[in-house]
Structure formats: C-alpha cells, structure tokens
Amino acid sequence: MQVPRLHPDTIEQVKQRVDIVDVISDRVVLRKRGKDFVGLCPFHDEKSPSFTVSPQKQMYYCFGCQAGGSAINFLMQVEKQSFSDVVLELARRYAVPVQTLEPEQRQELQRQITLREQLYQILAVTAAFYQHALRQSQGQQALEYLKSQRQLSEETIQQFQLGYAPAGWETLYRYLVEQKGYALHLVEQAGLIKPRKEGGGYYDVFRDRLIIPICDMQGKVIAFGGRTLTNEQPKYLNSPETQLFNKGKTLFALDKAKDAIAKQDRAILVEGYFDAIALHAAGITNAVASLGTALNIDRIRHLLRYTDSKQLVLNFDADKAGTTAAERAIGEIADLAYRGEVQLRILNIPDGKDADEYLKTHSHEEYRQLVTNAPLWLDWQIEQIVAGKNLKQADRYQQAYQQMIKLLNNIVNPDMRTHYITRCAEILSQGEARLVSMIAQNIIVELRNPRRSGPIGIVPRRPQAAKPVSTLPEGKRLEQAEALLLRLYLHCPYQRQAIADILEERDLEFSLSHHRFLWAQILEIQETSPQLELDLISKLQDKRLEFPDEMTQVGHLFLLDELSQLDITRAAELIRAAVTRMEQVMCEKQSRYFRELWEKINIAIERERGEQYSQEYRSTTQRSIELDRLCQVSFSDLVDI
C-alpha cells in the first residue's frame, strides 16, 4: 500500500514540536552532562557512554559508532520504520494535525495511521475481557490458582492485568467480531484468532488458559502468554508474532522494571512469567523474564542499555533444563563477557527452586542476598565442569582439566586469567596444597594465546628523501585536517569567511569524497540562504533524509566532544594549521607524482624532461617536509594530524 505524501507543513510542525530527549529517553537511559545528555549507545555495544543528545540542537550523535541525526532519524533506525511512519507516529504523540498533499488521500492516510492503534485497541479490549472472565464463575479455578498456589495478592493480579481465557472455541471471536464489531482481519492480525483448516470459520488462540498480558516499553499490551490449567501441551503458549509483537526482541515486565534496573544498576533475568511476577510482588522490581524462549543477543543488548555497569544476573532453574538454558545464554553473550562488557552472574537457588518457589518460604532480603552472592559466570562454569565428577579417576580428571584449559584460553584480561589459573589449580589439586603450584605451571605451559596475531598488513615504505616528520599515514593526516577544518566551519560562524578565503587563496579543495560532499551541501545551502548563520547545522541535518549514507560519514562533525570544544577556543590557529596540513599532503602527492614520471622515462633520450621532473620532485619534496614541520609545531600540544 502506497503511503500518502505528507504535507511539508506537517513535517515541519512535527520537527518543531518534537523533544528529542523525550523520544530517546524512552529507549536509552540518559544522564545530564552540562548542556547535553549522555547514555550508552543503542546501536553498538559499549562500556562507557559515548552517545550524546543535544536538546539545544535537537540531535544525537555517538562518538563510538558515528550514528547521528534528529529524533526522526533515531526512530527510523531503532524501529526500522519509514520516514512517513515515524512522522505519523510523532504527529500522534505530539498532537500535530496531519495534512497530505492530495486531499483525496486523507481517508487512506487515516486507515494507515490507525492500523497499529486499532491493533493496540483490540488487544487492550481483549485484556479487559480476560480480566473480566477471571472474575466470573468460569474463571474461578484460575483465580483460585493465582491466589492459593501462586500466593499473589489482589494488587499484583491487577498490576499485571492477569486474566482468564474461557474454554469455548469461539468465545473471544464472538465477543470481538460479533459483539464489538471489530474487523475480522484485524482480530486475526492481532494474533487472537486463527482460521480453521477445515470447514471454514475461526477459533480462539487461547482457550481455558490463565492469561498474562505482554506489554511494550510504554506499557501497552502487544501480546499474551497463556498457562494451561490442565495437562494440555504446551504448558505455556505465547501469541504469534504480529506487527506489534516480536518474540525475539521482547522481555516480559521490562516496561515495569526499566526504572528500577537503571536505579539499582543491575538487571535480574528469570525464565518464567511467574518468577518475574513473584519478584515484583516481593518488591524486587528490577526483574524481567525471557518469555520461556531461548535468549538471543538482541534481547540481552536491549536489557543492558538500562544498566551503566552492565550488571546482569541470570536466575534460571537449577535443573538440567535450567542449566542448559543458562549455558545457552552464556554462549550468546560470551564474547561480551570475556571482554568485560557485561558483568554476568549466575544464580542457582538452593534445592533446585525457582524464584517463585523460593519466595514462598523465604524473605525478599534473603533472595537479595542470594543475588549479591551469586558467582560470576566463569566461577559458575568451573563449578559445572567439576560437578558430579570424581577427580580421583584419571579419565574424569583429564576431562575436567581439558575443559578448564578451553575456558581459560578465552580470557583476555591477564589479571583475570592469572586468578582463574590459580582457582582451577586449587580445584584440581583436590586439597593437596603442595600440588597447586605445579598444576598451575602445567596449565600455563599448555595454554595457547589465540589473541596474539602477526602484522595485519605491510605498509609500503616511502622514498627516504620524501619521508615526512609525521608518523601518521597520509590518508589519516588528510582525514583529520579536513575534518577539523569542516568542524570549525560548522561551529564557528565568525570564522567561516576566513576559512573560505584561505582555501581560495591557496587553491585548495577537499580531497576526500565525504568531505567534498559536505562542503558542496554547505555551499548550496549558503547560496540559497545567504543570511543563514547559526541554523546551518540544522539545515544540514535535514539532508540526512535525502542522503543518509553520505551524511552518516560526516555526522561526527555536527557535535563537539570535550577535546573538540577546546579546538574552538583557538580556532584561528587551528584553521591555519589544518590548511597547512592539507597543502602539505598535496605537495607530498605532487612529489610522488613527479618521481613516478621521472622513473618512467629514459633519461638518456629525454634528459631535459628528466631534469625538469627531477627538479619538480626535489622542490615539492622539500616544500612537503617544511610544511610537515610547521604542522608538528602548530599541533604539538593538541593533536597529531
């Protein structure tokens, strides 16, 4: 279906009305730093926050992965939605009237705008239906189960909107379609009914099940989980994937837990719905559940956004299935854990209990103590290696030894590796203190170092006569100089004319394609808006929608970090030095060009031309070295370009 073209006035009103901090803080934990806000980037893994949001400029930028743009760009990247869909979503959020270029398209536009809203509405009505059914005679068994077996209070039942799906095959279908008048295809798209394979008609997805609503980050119902009250399989059933529900990216109760996770700087991840519900009921509100499905890296990354220190506790069941699930989860995030990018602990509750069972006989403080004392994931894995093994038997000892070697090989941090070598040696010594040192030495000898690698590539040598003072490659020096000059142009309006004049005076152009592109956009904007000064960056940001790839390459120039803010204080000096570096690289290229020409000719036949090339080579080489030294003096206390 073709999306109607939005009127420019609507787009402009949305841009003016939107608050980028408000939008991004829904998905990223932001903390005030000076005039801006900082947080952990949602687009790549990082330990220290490099993601900056500027309310003044209404833009974001990550100094780590170079992602950047406006609130619209952010939602397009995070939600994987089109420009029009994002503008429509923001228009609804900020109550901006929507206009289209063609009045006859407004009816079609309204249908598209309301599709997701209709799905949300149907799911909200369904959740209320299930809650009502729980209070009826047919839901008595489910209500009794919640209060007696799960020991949940009325407050918790209401907080999680728990309900009951009646046993009939078409109860919900008749209620939504026949009584409420919702379109059949919308009820099906919401994941609530399915077409019969034979005989026509539809049947309810959930029947005679206890219902647990699944919500998005705004607390809106997007799906349901259903627990059987009989011996029916599966024990737990989730809604199918829909436009609103992606099981692989959703964590149960994250909407209720995100603030507590950020405040306590720790997330607890459990397996089941009722484990999470029981923890919240006990006041442990930084807990979420995995919807009973295997974890993947997307969900882990999403969860870790809410904790600065990346503390994550996996509280899975201590039985074989729970251990397997924990090992699988560790496998998903092993690389992050080995690099120290997640502080992962594994909690197995004594006597094989899950969180829900444990809290029925223990206080929430006792559970918190278990969380605090939970072993780091490496300690837990070592425990699993030796669990049930009689190390006095040679084959079992050798098996454990080799598994430990495999585990230790992946530890990058030398201090951590030393610690765990000693730990493994102590376990393998079986209480014989005199053997610990010898076993540790054996482990060290056997350990390989897969992280060690040879040179990545061979850098060609420069001709000795043309060797510059700078140790940086030519491309890197040019990249830094041009980037610095463009950054100063963007952020120092009072220096723009000086930059333009010096470039013209020295007959210099930007050599790198992405810098040439940005300079062309600047000139185009200034030609059409000659009075434009402070709004240049905002106008350039609008180009992201037209040239997303090109603007991504230069997005880091639109925001200032602490070092580049210092550059602004001595802009005039840095402009001269950056231009000097650009001229030096140009001379270096010319020197190389004349040398290549000289090497290609036959000197005996073309002596005059050879002397000309040789002279040009010597003069450009000398000029290049002189300019290089000037750059080193100018930048010695700030940057190396």
pLDDT tens per residue, range 46-98: 878 889 998 878 889 988 888 888 899 899 888 777 788 888 888 888 878 77
Closest CA to 466 of 356, 360, 590: 590
Question: 235 Cβ partners below 8 Å, 6+ apart?
Answer: 227, 228
Going 376 to 377 to 382 to 387, the CA torsion angle's sign is positive
User: What is the architecture of the domain spanning 249-374?
Assistant: 3-Layer(aba) Sandwich (3.40)
Per-residue pLDDT band at 463 (split at 50, 70, 90): very low
List helix spans (H) across 232-362.
254-264, 273-281, 297-304, 320-338, 355-361
Q: 311-315 and 343-346 as β-strands: parallel, antiparallel, unpaired? A: parallel
d(CA 378, CA 388): 18
State the average pLDDT over residues 497-522: 88
**The tokens of 371 are what?**
């969380």
Across the chain, mean pLDDT equals 83
Angle between helices 571-600 and 496-505 (to 10 degrees): 20
Q: What percent of the chain has pLDDT over 70?
A: 89
Give the three-class secondary structure for 37.
Answer: strand
d(CA 221, CA 252): 11
For residue 147, the Cα-to-chain-centroid distance in whole angstroms is: 39
Is residue 137 predicted with pLDDT exceeding 90?
Answer: yes
Are 564 and 492 spatial neighbours (Cβ–Cβ below 8 Å)?
no
pLDDT at 28: 86
Q: Is 244 exposed, middle or buried (0-12, 13-18, 19+ CB in 10 A)?
A: buried
pLDDT at 466: 40
d(CA 25, CA 78): 13
Pick the more confident residue, 629 or 480.
480
pLDDT at 256: 94
Domain 113-245 has CATH 2.60.40.10: no
| Model pLDDT for residues 242-284, shown as the tens digit of each residue | 988 988 888 999 999 988 998 898 999 998 899 999 999 999 9
Question: 26 Cβ partners below 8 Å, 6+ apart?
Answer: 217, 218
Is residue 444 predicted with pLDDT exceeding 90?
Answer: no
Are 193 and 202 spatial neighbours (Cβ–Cβ below 8 Å)?
yes
Are 240 and 175 spatial neighbours (Cβ–Cβ below 8 Å)?
no
Q: Which of 381-385, 396-400, 414-418 has the lowest mean pLDDT?
A: 414-418
Question: 393 Cβ partners below 8 Å, 6+ apart?
Answer: none
pLDDT at 104: 61
User: Which one-letter amino acid corresponds to residue 66?
Assistant: Q
Pick the more confident residue, 456 or 617.
617
d(CA 18, CA 94): 7
Are 132 and 175 spatial neighbours (Cβ–Cβ below 8 Å)?
no
d(CA 47, CA 65): 13
Backbone Cα Rg of the chain: 32
Fold category of 8-101 in CATH: DNA Primase; Chain A (3.90.580)
For residue 240, the Cα-to-chain-centroid distance in whole angstroms is: 25
Same fold across 8-101 and 113-245: no
- Residue 312 main-chain phi, psi, to 5 deg: -135, 125
Beta strands in 136-264 (DSSP E): 163-165, 193-195, 202-204, 209-215, 221-228, 236-238
Domain boundaries defined on the chain: 8-101, 113-245, 249-374, 383-446, 470-635
Phi-psi bin for 352: left (phi > 0), alpha (psi -120 to 50), beta?
left
